């Protein structure tokens, strides 16, 4: 197992957290990791609506 994976398991965070380029993205990654599958689906749909709204 890679170091980042072991560290993520120890800290209970998604591995992607370590690769976030800014604090806002890091927070979103942490929050996303705490959601259940239904909540994740809702968040992804909402984010898609925001990203395509003009």
- Could you read off the pLDDT of 1-54 as tens digits, one per residue? 799 999 999 999 999 999 999 999 999 999 999 999 999 999 999 999 999 997
Q: Which two tokens stand for residue 11?
A: 């800290």
Q: What is the CATH number of the domain that holds 18?
A: 1.10.260.40
Return the half-sphere exposure (C-beta side, CA atoms, 13 A cut-off) of residue 4.
7
Q: What is the distance between the alpha carbons of residues 25 and 11, in angstroms, rounded to a whole number?
A: 18
Structure tokens at 46: 């909402």
Nearest to 19 by CA among 5, 35, 39, 37: 5
Count how many domains the chain has.
1
Assigned token pair, 28:
């979103």
Q: What is the pLDDT of residue 1?
A: 78
Please give the residue range of the domain that contains residue 28: 3-52
């Amino acid at each position: 197992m890679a170091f980042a994976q072991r560290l993520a398991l120890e800290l209970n965070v998604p591995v992607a957290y370590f690769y976030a380029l800014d604090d806002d993205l890091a927070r979103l990654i942490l929050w996303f990791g705490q959601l259940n599958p239904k909540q994740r689906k809702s968040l992804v749909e909402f984010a898609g609506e925001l990203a395509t709204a003009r």
